[in-house]
Amino acid sequence: MAKKQKVQRPKAQTPKGFRDYFGAEVAQRTEMLRVIAGVYHRYGFEALESAAVETVEALGKFLPDVDRPNEGVFAWQEEDDKGDGDWLALRYDLTAPLARVFAQHRNDLPTPYRRFAMGPVWRNEKPGPGRFRQFYQCDADTVGSGSVAADAEICAMLADTLEAVGIERGDYVIRMNNRKILNGVLEVMGLSDEGQKANVLRTIDKFDKVGESGVRELLGKGRLDASGAYIDGVGLSDEQAEPVIAFLTSKADDIAGTLANLSAAIGDSAIGAEGVAELQTMADLLAAGGYGADRIAVDPSVVRGLGYYTGPVFEAELTFEIKDEKGRPRSFGSVAGGGRYDDLVKRFTGQEVPATGVSIGVDRLLAALHMKGRLDAKTTGPVVVTVMDRDRMADYQGIVSDLRNAGIRAEVYLGNPKNFGNQLKYADQRDSPIAIIQGGDELAAETLQIKDLILGAKIAETATHEEWKDRPSQFEIPRADLVARIKQLLDEQSQ
């Protein structure tokens, strides 16, 4: 007989940057998406689900001009006879597919088109701790309306959504800004070089972190950062930098004051004035709808990284304090953001189609709810019916059926029943609240043994039975009383 080759076994591992989600994690996300979809739907938005796969051409940015165009996306080439099949890729957000969908189906869709979409997106990036290459987004966009009433509506909906999923009023604020004001600021600065403009925008984005003096340094000669490294500045004179500083420090006690300061910062720039007027209209519309200063703020430091925003931009920030990795308090930060982008559909059709929308980071929002104690990390498992006699499986299934038919989550132990201790260990691992036992004696007496596993765990913890003596952790009930008694016990346990 030939010598056996050593078997090469595949590694049981998720690819780098991907992960599995179990039980409560999945259920809680599903429930959150259901609640968000409910709010979006009430606002008149319609669900859209496009495929995970798009042509690289439709996604844009990532054109097949190199051998393998997978910069930032997961891409591959379709097989065809001539070797020049289409390049396909996994979507990297839900906005690029929306632009493609609207361009493709525009004759059949109502205009304006309000749509929401929820699902995973993929990024071909170096994975790191807590950075995953597949994550959920949850978007709502209005395509085909140039009115800032559309932007205001989305801000109002965002506030309603946060409250619907369990973030209390006072624990969040919707911060609004307008890109046109920024453009006005750049205009009065007399900047024309695009690179320099981009550097100024990046610097503005750092205002929250480095403050006014830091921004002054970064706009000028540069700055020594906390790690001791020297960061090159944009190279502006103090005078040139002044409009940016005026802009960034324009936040006043109320929205009216902030808007007045912003008006001053943009001088006589027409585009800047337009931005201020839009912000004013949004604030007015929101105030009329009851969304006041406790929920809505104008905040000049909101820039939003993406280059495609053209008007209003907004962000939902959770304001409650958490501890950072070094134990220092900081606010939880942004969980959603968006704004107006008027050029995305034009790529396909040549026609300008105004659009605005928001994207909620579902995973961050779930993390926030966990920190606020609004979501349990552990959920209660099923009632476990143990198997004392493997020939009587039909009886045990019958017990389980009665419970399930009454809406109670229940299961029979399906492993090897020989070792009874293993059955109780299994019930423990399942976070089961109750185990049910029926041996020969109970069968003859038409009864069941009920083990209260929650109480049992409490007794084991305190190592004394004293305080629980009126409530036994194991007791016998008539088989006929099964459903009523289990319901009663589950009620008691949840109190």
Looking at the Cβ atoms of 114 and 216, the one nearer to its own copies is 114
Residues in 22-81 at the binding interface with its own copies, rule: CB under 8 A: 22-23, 25-27, 30, 34, 37, 41-44, 46-55, 57-58, 60, 68, 70, 74-76, 78-79
Beta bridge partners of 128: 131
Site for its own copies in 418-457 (CB under 8 A): 426, 429-430
User: How many CB atoms lie under 10 A from the CB of residue 348?
Assistant: 17
Nearer to its own copies, 184 or 361 (CB): 361
Q: Residue 145 CB, nearest distance to its own copies (Å)? A: 4
CB 265, CB 275: distance < 8 Å: no
Nearer to its own copies by C-beta: 22 or 129? 22
> Which residue pairs from 393-397 have beta carbons closer than 8 angstroms and sit at least 24 positions apart in sequence?
395/438, 395/443, 396/438
Residues 337 to 366: which contact its own copies by CB under 8 A? 347-350
Question: Judged by CB under 8 A, which of 20, 65, 268, 470 binds its own copies?
Answer: 20
Structural contact between residues 171 and 318, judged by C-beta atoms closer than 8 angstroms: yes
Judged by CB, which is closer to its own copies: 104, or 240? 104
Cis check for the bond before 433: say yes or no (omega within 30 of 0).
no
| Rounded Cα gap, residues 317 and 335, in angstroms | 6
Find the binding residues for its own copies in span 222-281 (CB under 8 A).
none
Q: Find the binder of its own copies among 2, 229, 288, 377 (CB under 8 A).
A: 288
Contact 400, 413 (CB under 8 A): no
Largest CA distance in the chain: 95
Q: Applying CB under 8 A, which part among 141-149, 201-209, 357-365, 456-464 lies near its own copies?
A: 141-149
Please give the DSSP secondary-structure letter assigned to residue 102.
H
User: Residue 336 in 3-state DSSP?
Assistant: strand
Q: 11: Cβ–Cβ under 8 A, 6 or more apart, which residues?
A: none
**Nearest approach, Cβ of residue 27 and its own copies (Å):** 5
Measured from the CB atom, the residue of 107 and 494 that comes closer to its own copies is 107
DSSP notation for 260-325: HHHHHHTTT-HHHHHHHHHHHHHHHHHHHTT--TTTEEE-TT---S-TT--SEEEEEEEEEEEE-T
Q: x/- contact string, 184-223, with its own copies (CB under 8 A)?
A: ----------------------------------------
Residue 481 in tokens: 């009383």
**According to CB under 8 A, which residues from 465 to 494 bind its own copies?**
none
Closest CA to 307 of 33, 15, 52, 61: 61
- Decide if residue 144 touches its own copies (CB under 8 A): yes
* 273 contacts 224 by C-beta, under 8 angstroms: no
Instruction: Give the binding-site size for its own copies (rule: CB under 8 A).
Output: 101
Please, which residue, 123 or 223, has the CB nearer to its own copies?
Answer: 123
Q: Is 133 a binder of its own copies (CB under 8 A)?
A: yes
Q: CB 481 → its own copies: shortest distance, Å? A: 20
Using rule CB under 8 A, residue 176 touches its own copies: no
CB 279 within 8 A of CB 312: yes
Query: Judged by CB under 8 A, which of 137, 145, 250, 280 binds its own copies?
Result: 145
Which residues partner with 451 through β-bridges?
A: 435, 474
Tokens, residue 208: 């929250």
Which residue, 145 or 183, has its beta carbon nearer to its own copies? Answer: 145
Site string for its own copies, 102-121 (x = CB under 8 A): -xxx----xxx-x-----x-
* Stretch in the footprint of its own copies (CB under 8 A) among 100-108, 215-223, 263-271, 316-324: 100-108
Specify the DSSP element, H or E, that contains 180: helix 179-189
Of 151-170, binders to its own copies (CB under 8 A) are: 152-153, 156, 160
Based on the shown chain and the rule CB under 8 A, indicate whether residue 13 belongs to the binding site for its own copies.
Answer: yes
Q: Which is nearer to its own copies, 70 or 334 (CB)?
A: 70
Q: Pick from 168, 254, 284, 376 the residue near its own copies by CB under 8 A.
A: 284
User: Can you say how many angstroms the Cα of residue 341 is from the centroid of all Cα atoms in its chain?
Assistant: 21
Burial of 201 (0-12, 13-18, 19+ CB in 10 A): middle
Site for its own copies in 383-422 (CB under 8 A): 384, 393-395, 397-398, 401, 404, 407-412, 414-415
Asked if 340 and 312 touch (Cβ cutoff 8 Å), the reply is: yes
Q: Is the CB of 165 or the CB of 236 nearer to its own copies?
A: 165
Residue 12 touches its own copies, criterion: CB under 8 A: yes
Nearer to its own copies, 30 or 331 (CB): 30
Beta bridge pairs of residue 200: none
